[in-house]
Amino acid sequence: MNFDWNVAWHSVPALLDGLLTALLSIAIGYPLAIALGLLLVFPQRSARPWIRIPVRVVVEFIRSTPLLVQLFFLFYVLPAFGVELSAFATGAIGLGLHYATYTSEVFRAGIESVPTGQWDAATALNLSTTRTWWSVVLPQAIPKVLPPLGNYAIAMFKDTPQLTAITVLEVLSAARAEGAQTFRYLEAITMAGLLYLLVSLVLAWLARRVEQRYATTRGIA
C-alpha cells in the first residue's frame, strides 16, 4: 500500500478539529498547572516537616506515575464521588494536576536560585515582604523559570493524545476515526504526527520569543 496524499488531505479538517480541542485543553490545563504549581511551592518550603514532607511525597508521587493512569482514575473515580465532569474537563484537569508537580519544582528551583544575600540586602533596606518578593526575588527568578516553563507547555501539548483514552475527541482520536472510516490508518496517523510536529515546533519558537522578550526588556542577557 502506498501513501495516498488524497486520503491524507481529506483527513486534515477532522484533525484540525481535534487540534482545536487539544489546544483548548492546554488553554485550561496550563494555567491550572501554573497556579497549582505556585500554590504547591509554599508548603514544600515550609519549615514544619509535617507540612513539608507529606506535600513533597504527594508531589513526587504524582510526578513519577503515568498520566494515563491518573486520567483513568479521575475519569472513572470522580463520578463515583458525585463529581460529574465532561471527559474534556477531566482531561484538562488531569493535565493541569500532573504538570503542576513539574511547575512547582521549577518555581522552587527558581526561588532558591536567588542568592540569600539578596534577601539579606532586602532586610537591610527594610523592605516589606511583599516588596521583597515583587521587586527583588521575582525579577531574578522569572528569567530562570521561563525556559523550563516553556518546555513544559510543549510537553503538555504532546501529552494531549493520551486524552483519547478517556474519549476526548482530540487529534489522535480524529485520526483513529478517520482511519476506521477509510480503512487507511497510514495517512491519518502520519498526518496527525506531522501536525503534532508542526505545532510543537511553533510552540517551541513562541516559547523562545517570550524568553528573549523578557530577557531584553529586563536588561538581562
> Where do contacts with other proteins occur on this chain (CB under 8 A)?
1, 61, 63-70, 72-73, 76-77, 80, 158-162, 164-165, 172, 175-176, 179, 184-186, 189-190, 192-193, 196-197, 200-201, 204
Q: Is the dihedral of CA 130, 136, 142, 145 positive or negative?
A: negative
Per the CB < 8 A criterion, the answer to whether 117 and 47 are in contact is no
Rg (Cα) of the chain, in Å, rounded?
Answer: 21
**Amino acid, single-letter form, for residue 219:** G
Residue 98 or 122: the one with the smaller Cβ distance to other proteins is 98
Largest CA distance in the chain: 74
Which residue carries 516553563 as its cell? 149
In angstroms, the CA 126 to CA 132 distance is 9
C-alpha cell at 146: 521561563
Nearest approach in angstroms of CB 46 to other proteins is 23
Nearest approach in angstroms of CB 47 to other proteins is 26
Residue 32 or 105: the one with the smaller Cβ distance to other proteins is 105
Nearest approach in angstroms of CB 198 to other proteins is 8
Nearest approach in angstroms of CB 16 to other proteins is 16
Nearest approach in angstroms of CB 154 to other proteins is 8
**Amino acid, single-letter form, for residue 166:** I
Residue 18 or 122: the one with the smaller Cβ distance to other proteins is 18
Burial of 190 (0-12, 13-18, 19+ CB in 10 A): middle
Per the CB < 8 A criterion, the answer to whether 26 and 211 are in contact is no
Residue 100, C-beta contacts closer than 8 angstroms, at least 6 positions apart = 32, 33, 34, 35, 36, 37, 40, 62
Burial of 139 (0-12, 13-18, 19+ CB in 10 A): middle
Residue 68 or 85: the one with the smaller Cβ distance to other proteins is 68
Residue 3 or 134: the one with the smaller Cβ distance to other proteins is 3
Residue 138 or 158: the one with the smaller Cβ distance to other proteins is 158
Nearest approach in angstroms of CB 35 to other proteins is 23
